[in-house]
Amino acid sequence: MKPHLEHIEPQADRVFRGRPVSDGIARAQAVVTRQPFMFSHGLDPASGIVIDRSHELYGRLVRGSVLVFPRGVGSTSAGMWLLEAVLQGNAPAALVMEEIDPVLAMGALFARLFFQRSLPVVDKIRPAALLAIRTGDWVEVDGGAGMVRLLRGGREGAARPPRGRLPEGGASGGEGGGCRRC
Amino acid sequence: MRLTDEEKRTLDGGRGEARRVAMEILAGMGKIFEAGRLVPVRSAHVLASLLNFHGAGLEVIERLAALGARYAVPTTVDPVSVSLEGDDIPLPPGLAERQRRICAAHAAMGVVPSWTCTPYWGGNLPGYGDHVAWSESSAVAFVNSVLGARTNRLSTGLEIAASIMGRIPECGLHLTENRRPRVRFRVEADPADELDFGAIGYLVGRLAPGRTPYLVGLPPHATWEQLTSLGAAAASAGGIALFHAEGVTAESRRGAVDLRGLRRAEEHLIDRAAIRRAVAELTTASRTPDLVALGCPHWSVRQLSRLAALLRGRRVRDSVRLWVYTSPYVKRAALEKGVAQAIEASGARILTGTCMVISFLRHAGVRVMMTDSVRAARLVPSEHGCEAVLAPLAECVSRATEAGAG
């Protein structure tokens, strides 16, 4: 499904460069946390809801969002949890991190190698830039180029989404948000 | 990343499809992590729980097994979601079948059937400085820190590829410069048992997630069991893969920790009050437990012996279950020692090959789990939707039992 986002233009002063980790392009609203995020036993792949009770995002739907967080924590199965969420269509549309770890990188790599699915991932964004992204902002993540763009219509859009109909749970470009198994 | 001619040939498919796919995984990860080359590994430890694999992982591992993939180095395997005893929690047929298929794929690839998160008690014991490819975050923290072996926190799938190739990208904790501590912890708490050590690990993970800590003030005689508990909690709370403890862990005992970066590093104090707060934070209920679950990470023979001593002259109450998790070979040793019989005579069960974190406690009707494991208290409530009570071992035993012969 192609989201109707043509009216949202990137702002030149709001482009952040990071490191390309995993290819793909996604446009969606950001969910931002300063706390490390636990995918294993922390994100329910069947719903896309955060089930880690000790996390500030507990109970929140992160499906289809651009999840912005410092780093992953939890067990070394986190990559499979992420992969499963991708295949069930309940993963975030993209990940933006301070620093990826091998566990999560593998989830994105396996999605591409074994299932031809893309989950754009960019890491090593400057901490100051990470602070500039707020929950509800519309952002575009280009995993192949290592770029994160804050889109106009962003912050206001948190409460009132920009013009045009948006798919439920946030829009995503590319293949990031589709559902393969239902 | 530079590849040798043999590695290039493998990547081009000259060594078969299974090895080509495994090499593509390693090459992809090596590129992301800017590794210069692949290094040989001496052992691997892989995950197998269906909670770790889901449908996606099952598809991956069955595809690799069907391609004829074989583990090239000694490879032990983590616990699964049903006990080998098989009668603790009846799994829905679909889930049991999926778990069986994961185990069968591992078996086809030649895994050592250890079914434990503490394979070092059964002989997968990397040497100092060895490169290894281990999954299971608690075991990763142990082999890096206590043994001085070198592995990153590998995920399900990557350790499988590494074991098939006998190689891993040389990055992260495989390189000496990345093993340097970045944050200092002063422990003024005289930690005495696994609960104390676990609470310290939890605090380290919460206060310095993702960083390598340097702990001062741990007792030099800290046991492997205690250090297992510390690492397991630090891993689950903060993704920590390596900790140094002055005079205790492998690299510190050899004077091999590069302390230069610590001069201006932040320092945290962990005292008794902090430990008490951590235990209180992880205790989510005050209700009576219906399950007392011990053995996370999987217990050693020594821990089982201690439990047997605490259970002498007591029996498990009718209203509560006392389950203890360990590996098949530790249970076997405990049987030879007579310790396992003493434990089970009280009405407690020793379950092997699974644990409270990855088995389906909900299907067993568990609403409140009591444990002395900080890691279990951290993970079980999220995963199984039940409450946790965290308490010292003696208190767990007294809540679960009453006086009387078993």
Q: Is the dihedral of CA B101, B105, B108, B111 positive or negative?
A: negative
Least confident of B49-58, B200-209, B322-331: B49-58
Closest CA to B64 of B21, B24, B27: B21
Tell me the pLDDT band of A13, cut-offs 50, 70 and 90.
Answer: low
Q: Are A88 and A61 in contact (CB under 8 A)?
A: no
| Predicted confidence (pLDDT) per residue in B333-348, tens digit | 999 999 999 999 999 9
| Beta strand pairing call for B321-326 and B291-299 | parallel
The pLDDT > 70 percentage for chain A reads: 76
* pLDDT higher at B72 or A163: B72
Give the Cα separation of A126 and B127 in Å (integer).
Answer: 38
pLDDT at A158 over 80: no
Tokens of B372: 């002395």
pLDDT at A5 over 90: no
Tell me the pLDDT band of A177, cut-offs 50, 70 and 90.
Answer: very low
Q: What is the mean pLDDT of chain B?
A: 95
The residue length of chain B stands at: 406
Picking from A36, A80, A84, the nearest residue to B210 by CB comes out as A36
Closest CA to B128 of B114, B145, B113, B115: B145
| Predicted confidence (pLDDT) per residue in A133-154, tens digit | 999 999 999 999 999 999 976 5
pLDDT at A168 over 80: no
Tell me the pLDDT band of B100, cut-offs 50, 70 and 90.
Answer: very high
pLDDT in the model for residue A157? 41
- Report DSSP letters for A44-88, one per residue: ETTTTEE--TTSTTTT-B-TTSEEEES-EES-TTHHHHHHHHHHT
Tell me the pLDDT band of A76, cut-offs 50, 70 and 90.
Answer: confident
Q: Which listed residue (A22, A75, A77, A118) is catalytic?
A: A75
| Predicted confidence (pLDDT) per residue in B102-116, tens digit | 999 999 999 999 999
Q: Are B380 and B360 in contact (CB under 8 A)?
A: no
pLDDT in the model for residue B406? 55
Inter-chain touch B29–A105, beta carbons under 8 Å: yes
Inter-chain touch B236–A73, beta carbons under 8 Å: yes
B210 residue type, one letter: G
pLDDT in the model for residue B86? 83
Tokens of A110: 């396996």
Inter-chain touch A41–B21, beta carbons under 8 Å: no
pLDDT at A160 over 50: no
Q: Which one of A58, A80, A118 makes the best mutation probe of the B interface by having the most chain B beta carbons within 10 Å?
A: A80
Inter-chain touch B56–A83, beta carbons under 8 Å: yes
Instruction: Mark whether A75 is an active-site residue.
Output: yes
The pLDDT > 90 percentage for chain B reads: 87
Q: Does A40 touch chain B (CB under 8 A)?
A: yes
Q: What is the mean pLDDT of chain A?
A: 80
Angle at B306 between CA B304 and CA B312, to 5 degrees: 100
pLDDT at A181 over 50: no
Angle of the B50-66 helix axis to the B93-108 helix axis, nearest 10 = 50
Give the Cα separation of B382 and B212 in Å (integer).
Answer: 26
Return phi, psi of residue B186, to 5°: -105, 120
| Predicted confidence (pLDDT) per residue in B153-199, tens digit | 887 889 999 999 999 999 999 999 999 999 999 999 999 999 999 99
Least confident of A4-8, A111-115, B133-137: A4-8
Return phi, psi of residue A117, to 5°: -120, 140
Residue of A nearest to B232 (CA): A75
Give the Cα separation of B99 and B278 in Å (integer).
Answer: 35
Inter-chain touch B237–A100, beta carbons under 8 Å: no
pLDDT at A78 over 90: no
- Report DSSP letters for B79-140, one per residue: --SS-SS--SS---HHHHHHHHHHHHHHHHTT-B----S-GGGGT--PPTT-B-EE--HHHH
User: Which residue bears the tokens 């029996």?
Assistant: B315
pLDDT at A7 over 60: no
Least confident of A98-107, B210-219, B223-232, B314-323: A98-107
pLDDT in the model for residue B273? 98
Q: Which one of B154, B156, B203 makes the best mutation probe of the A interface by having the most chain A beta carbons within 10 Å?
A: B156
For residue A102, list chain B residues with Cβ-Cβ distance below 8 A: 29, 33, 152-155, 158, 172
Contacts of B11 (CB under 8 A, 6+ apart): B3, B20, B23, B24, B27
pLDDT in the model for residue A129? 79
Inter-chain touch B56–A84, beta carbons under 8 Å: yes
Residue of A nearest to B385 (CA): A51
Closest CA to B400 of B309, B310, B283: B310
